[in-house]
Amino acid sequence: MNIVLTGAGKGIGFEIAKQFCEKGHRVVAISRNISRLTELNNKNLLAVSFDLTEGNYQELYDKIKQFLPVVNILVNNAGLLINKAFTDFTDDDFDKIFRTNVNAIAKMSRTLINDFSAKSHIVNISSMGGFQGSSKFPGLSLYSASKGAVSILTESMAEELKDRNISVNALALGAVQTEMLAEAFPSFKAPLTASEMASFICDFAISANKYYNGKVMTVSLSTP
């Protein structure tokens, strides 16, 4: 499989890149900081330093195209979390989160639209915070709103891209012990490791489009 992955520099994204490469898949792993990725020293991996909110997508596309003739899977994993009260967040906070969590998904998908293979799969990483009816937490209104937008964008993309034989699904993740979670909630201990969640996402990305399209699937040990 030929795979493009964003948000690959740490946490779940890094583990996804590592596990895909170890299984023999070719991966373009995108992150602003690629130091950990380059340490993997895997011939199946191309690490690309890129800012999804400000970078030149044509230049990114050219690098991807040199490494991957076609794309079978795109995992839109990059995300930004700002833990701030609703009454305190700024217009700049709003723009940063939506550019990273929503707009980057659309831009990456559009950039690669003519290079997806038949029966390809786009996987958008959402959050339980953006899933209607789930428990909500103080400080995450903006993050949750952006992930709710990811869910609706996923459903809409699936409808528009079905004639191209491209499936689009989203995974609404529950708490996972990552650097981003630890920074936002230092005292909280999540029930799953980044490696454990990455294993699930890898399997889902490879095979779930045989069964699902336009779905937002919850991946969480919590209820609701």
Q: Which of 57, 61, 143, 212 is catalytic?
A: 143
**Rounded distance between C-alpha atoms, residue 23 and residue 25, angstroms:** 6
Evaluate whether 130 touches 172 at the Cβ level (below 8 Å).
Answer: yes
What tokens appear for 43 in the block? Answer: 């011939």
Q: Is 143 one of the annotated active-site residues of the chain?
A: yes
Q: At what angle do helices 57-67 and 104-111 cross, to 10 degrees?
A: 50
The 8-class DSSP code of residue 213 comes to S
3-class DSSP state of 120: strand
Helices (H), the chain: 11-22, 35-39, 57-67, 91-98, 104-111, 141-161, 179-184, 194-207
Structure tokens at 179: 């650097």
3-state helix, strand, coil in the chain (%, to 5): 45, 20, 30
Catalytically annotated residues: 143
